[in-house]
Structure 1
Amino acid sequence: MNEQIKVAVDGPAGAGKSTIAKAVAKRLGIFYVDTGAMYRAIALKTLRSNIPIDHEDEVGQMVQETEIVLDHSDARRVFCDGEDVTEAIRNPEVSRAVSKIAAYPIVRERLVQLQRREAERGAVIMDGRDIGTVVLPQADLKIFLTASPEERAYRRWLELYNSGKELSLDEVKQDMQRRDKQDSERAVAPLIPAADALILDTTGLSVQEIVDQIIKLTADL
């Protein structure tokens, strides 16, 4: 395997991107860059700063003054301006705000720079909405994960439930439908597979089965 391998994993919410990417990173011994967490950190800071999420100029100014760092010894930990926000960025309010904020060109421009800088450090796997199309268009392997809407909503509901957040499955489904629409229709970097991405439907498959498929794909790179 290429010691400087770059793997891009894209797909809609609930498709299993983060879970799969983390597992692949562990198997291959490469660094996992959680780009979604970086956008969530910006959404969290926007909300905490009482900046209306539709005030693009104010959000843009704020992001230029924000430092987001991933803990390289524990890729799950996310720091925003020195504060560990790993748990805070997963609350439903952040989930509802992140798609709109992530669509702002100035936000994406800043975070893409930071994400590419992470990739320059060595072998990495990144997951998000536009890794293969925008962030790492020259990635060695591009995967687009998907799953049925019902399974994606259930996975997201279970994640929230296990973290102590009680929402109905119907609420999660409606929220996911809204996010899918925003992500797919936004003018900047919409959610679409890269032309050379391999599309993997994870419906009914275990994490291990998907990870095994991706590991096989990296063998000849």
Structure 2
Amino acid sequence: MSDKKIIIAIDGFSSTGKSTVAKQLAKTLGYIYVDTGAMYRSVTLYAMRNKIIDQTHFDVDRLINSLPDIHIKFEVNQTTRLAEVLLNEENVEKEIRNLSVSRHVSQVAAISEVRKKLVEQQQLMGRDKGVVMDGRDIGTVVFPDAELKLFMTATAKDRAERRYKELIKRGDQVTYEDVLKNVVNRDHIDSTRKDSPLKKAEGAIEIDNSNLTLEDQFNQILTLSRSTINRYNKE
């Protein structure tokens, strides 16, 4: 008889490394990884490309009316063996990670109709369990009954420094000040929006990685995950 699988929900502030650790964890456990942030970023990219949102305006009604035309799915990259996001059959994995998308994604994610559409998709992806899913509301809204819920945090300064180095390494032309401003602004929008604000889920274990190496963080989360899986299989 095969082991029972669980749902691992990882929430937290922007640039806390949720996606990095979730991908690594899913790969190690043989679970499916779902990057919900990539889904919201894909909707944002669609809105930007279609001039629905920019620095000066946001046509919310037009975005809502466009939702039936936005199709998002994940496809495994055969080289890296990691899931990458497709927007209307186009691989947009790299494009959605730039700072211009980051500037608008929290506004798009605050729209109730957008959240409803994506949450329904996310719940379908996790119906058979064996999933690691990261985002802002996985443990509070998408899977409140997840067997393991984590909440990742770090200081805004630490998160901005990590994000800045990541963008520079990728070749993006950004300043640290702009990245820090974006991190602080996203924190405010994510935490104060009316629909599914970012908050620590009931029963979630907080991971403050301000002073943790990537290896230390991963080992800590892997230990928690295996312990939870073992406990669940003994029940």
Shorter-chain-normalised TM-score: which range? Answer: over 0.9
Mapped pair 1:67 → 2:71: yes
Alignment of 1:190-209 (within 5 A): 190-209=197-216
Counterpart in the other structure of 1:58: 62
Once the two structures are superposed, what CA deviation does each residue of 1:8-42 show, in whole Å capped at 9, x if it has no partner?
Answer: 00001111111111111111111110000010000
TM-score of the superposed pair, with normalisation by structure 1: 0.95
Aligned length: 221
Aligned mates of 2:96, 2:74 — CA distance in 1 = 13
* Aligned residue in 1 for 2:121: 114
- For structure 1, the residue ranges without an aligned partner over 5 or more in a row are none
Instruction: Give the alignment's TM-score, normalised by structure 2.
Output: 0.90
> Deviation above 6 Å: which 4+ runs of structure 1?
none
Q: For 1:117-136, what per-residue CA distance to the aligned partner results, in whole angstroms no more than 9, with x for missing partners?
A: 11124400000011000111
Would you say 1:216 and 2:223 are equivalent positions? yes
Larger radius of gyration: 2
Q: Which moved more, 1:60-69 or 1:185-194?
A: 60-69
Tell me the CA shift for residue 3 of structure 1.
Answer: 3.1
RMSD over equivalenced CA pairs, Å: 1.5
1:186 and 2:190 correspond: no
2:143 pairs with one of 124, 136, 150:
136
Residues 147-158 of structure 1 aligned to structure 2 (within 5 Å): 147-158=154-165
- The answer on 1:172 being equivalent to 2:176 is no
Ranges in structure 2 where 5+ consecutive residues have no aligned partner: none
Tell me if structure 2 keeps the 8 A contact 1:64–1:110: no
Query: Structure 1: which amino acid aligns with 2:171?
Result: G
CA distance in 2, matches of 1:23, 1:148: 23
